[in-house]
């Protein structure tokens, strides 16, 4: 397993401290930079990367270290500097070299290293016969074939870090699958799970009984022709790992809102306000922080994220927002420039404990606020039995069940109010906002019956049959 070592320090690692850490390999280890200077690599003679070190990140969001590293992490909550070193699997000295780098930072600046254990400051001599690195060896990928880019991880939670995002881009642009290999004790964050949904990406879980299985589908996997692929039974069906089906109901649930907004181009447009409104409405507080990767390091600011999206346009912007530790919530936002303005695709997920009642009775009021004040195009609300901490375990979790569907004022105008409010179903469409140009809210159920998916499908088919009207 690749070993990631993280130094968590109360002070920013300065140049002198970083240099002291970089000399953990002695004079034989070379140093170079990649990713426009954001990543420093310790390299063996011949150029093979041994340890990749990301630029230190100041975490200013409460609870973020414990969310990603475990509740037993012995470190001050925030602010804290997060400096991550990723050791290569190709060289035995790489892991102790990463540990010594992190240990040297902590010995000077205070704090702690993760994983837990005594920090070392030893010089790590290179005794292995290390082959030169291929010119095509990409950053952060452990095994590269024509079919797959394989990343090996051994940590409690695999987050969508900047280097993992880079590995995903590398795989996608070269028409390869991204396959993340972990032990069966690892969980994914929701952003990482979303990234792995696209075929043929996979979460490959090690299992003592069957070898490997897909942590999202349960399919038993084996290495075939340069990638992990499903094995078949004698009848030709995909074999499912017994470990995947061994899940115990806990009563925990997740409330999921898929929100899409459409804004006209405006110099004064401030993005993120629809998400902030939904968060405030459902949790009585705004988001705690945001970032373009995990860990989340920036305090929440609609102004800053708007500036970022504007500077990146016409390229899209993807970001993550996180809630306060006592009220688990996480959102992903995809911002795109369209021919008519700016679109936000938001997925907000909130975790609820056993016996805790999700705020389902407030969804209609939220839908009206979003429709009348934040240019709502559509919103689908659903409920599922899943972990309160919003991480994804390597076993079966039931899919979400729709609760309601809302269409914004422009969509209803295009469809036609008479057609939109009379679906061929036993549904009562609720008018939201002004009667002259309303939005429509369709309650679909209480989140307990999967039949709601059939109802939603028939509703959307009915709405698509309408003749488009000019605005």
Per-residue DSSP letters for 1-64?
Answer: ---EEEEEESS---HHHHHHHHGGG-TT-EEEEEGGGTEEEEE-TTS-EEEEEEPPEEE-STTH
Q: What are the distances in angstroms from CA 418 to CA 83, 159, 220, 422? A: 58, 46, 50, 6
- CB atoms near residue 74 (< 10 Å): 10
- Rounded to whole angstroms, how far apart are CA atoms 342 and 263? 5
Q: What is the pLDDT of residue 37?
A: 63
- Extract long-range pairs of 117-123: CB within 8 Å, 24+ residues apart: 120/96, 121/24, 122/24, 122/96, 123/23, 123/24, 123/25, 123/26
Residue 1 — pLDDT band, cuts 50, 70, 90? Answer: very low
Mean pLDDT of 188-203: 90
Residue 101 — pLDDT band, cuts 50, 70, 90? Answer: very high
Q: What is the pTM of this model?
A: 0.93
Nearest to 465 by CA among 420, 421, 430, 426: 420
Mean pLDDT of 337-353: 96
Residue 198 — pLDDT band, cuts 50, 70, 90? Answer: confident
Contacts of 391 (CB under 8 A, 6+ apart): 157, 187, 188, 189, 190
Residue 304 — pLDDT band, cuts 50, 70, 90? Answer: very high
Least confident of 3-12, 124-133, 198-207, 443-452: 124-133
CB 99 within 8 A of CB 121: no
pLDDT at residue 2 above 60? no
Contacts of 268 (CB under 8 A, 6+ apart): none
Q: What is the pLDDT of residue 470?
A: 54
Mean pLDDT of 170-199: 92
pLDDT, tens digit, for every residue of 240-289?
Answer: 999 999 888 899 999 999 999 999 988 899 999 999 999 999 999 999 99
Per-chain mean pLDDT for the chain: 90
Residue 426 — pLDDT band, cuts 50, 70, 90? Answer: confident
Angle formed by the axes of helices 15-22 and 94-109, nearest 10°: 150
Strand order across the 202-207 sheet: 143-144, 148-152, 177-182, 202-207, 211-214, 220-224, 227-230
Provide the token pair at 415: 């469809």
Provide the token pair at 113: 């290293």
């Amino acid at each position: 397993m690749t070993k990631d070592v993280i130094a968590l320090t109360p002070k920013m690692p300065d140049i002198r401290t970083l240099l002291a850490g970089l000399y953990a390999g002695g004079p034989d280890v070379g140093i170079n930079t990649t990713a426009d200077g954001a990543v420093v690599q310790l390299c063996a003679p011949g150029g093979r990367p041994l340890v990749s070190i990301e630029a230190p990140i100041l975490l200013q969001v409460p609870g973020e270290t414990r969310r990603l590293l475990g509740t037993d992490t012995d470190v001050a909550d925030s602010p804290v500097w997060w400096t991550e070193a990723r050791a290569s699997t190709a060289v035995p000295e790489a892991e102790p070299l990463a540990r010594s780098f992190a240990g040297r930072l902590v010995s000077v600046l205070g704090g702690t290293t993760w994983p837990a254990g005594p920090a070392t400051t030893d010089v790590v001599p290179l005794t292995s016969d290390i082959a030169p690195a291929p010119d095509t060896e990409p950053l952060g990928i452990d095994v590269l074939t024509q079919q797959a880019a394989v990343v090996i991880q051994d940590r409690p939670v695999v987050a969508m870090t900047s280097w993992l995002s880079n590995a995903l881009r590398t795989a996608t642009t070269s028409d390869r699958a991204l396959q993340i290999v972990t032990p069966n004790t690892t969980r994914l964050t929701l952003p990482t799970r979303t990234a792995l949904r696209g075929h043929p990406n996979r979460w490959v879980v090690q299992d003592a009984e069957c070898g490997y299985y897909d942590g999202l589908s349960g399919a038993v996997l084996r290495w075939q022709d340069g990638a992990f692929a499903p094995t078949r039974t004698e009848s030709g069906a995909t074999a499912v790992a017994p470990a995947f089906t061994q899940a115990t109901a806990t009563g925990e649930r997740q409330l999921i809102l898929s929100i899409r907004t459409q804004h006209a181009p405006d110099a004064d447009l401030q993005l993120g306000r629809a998400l902030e409104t939904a968060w405030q409405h459902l949790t009585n507080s705004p988001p705690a922080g945001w970032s373009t990767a995990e860990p989340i390091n920036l305090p929440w600011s609609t102004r800053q994220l708007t500036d970022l999206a504007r500077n990146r346009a016409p390229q899209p912007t993807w970001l993550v927002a996180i809630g306060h530790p006592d009220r688990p919530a996480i959102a992903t936002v995809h911002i795109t420039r369209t021919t008519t303005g700016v679109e936000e695709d938001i997925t907000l997920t909130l975790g609820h404990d056993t016996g805790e009642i999700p705020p389902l009775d407030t969804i209609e009021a939220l839908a009206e606020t979003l429709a009348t004040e934040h240019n709502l195009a559509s919103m689908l609300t659903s409920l599922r039995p899943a972990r309160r901490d919003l991480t994804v375990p390597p076993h079966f979790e039931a899919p979400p069940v729709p609760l309601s569907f809302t269409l914004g004022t422009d969509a209803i105008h295009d469809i036609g109010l008479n057609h939109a409010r009379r679906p061929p179903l036993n549904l009562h469409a609720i008018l939201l906002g002004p009667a002259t140009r309303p939005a429509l809210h369709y309650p679909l159920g209480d989140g307990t019956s999967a039949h709601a998916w059939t109802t939603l499908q028939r509703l959307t088919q009915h709405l698509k049959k309408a003749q488009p009207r000019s605005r």
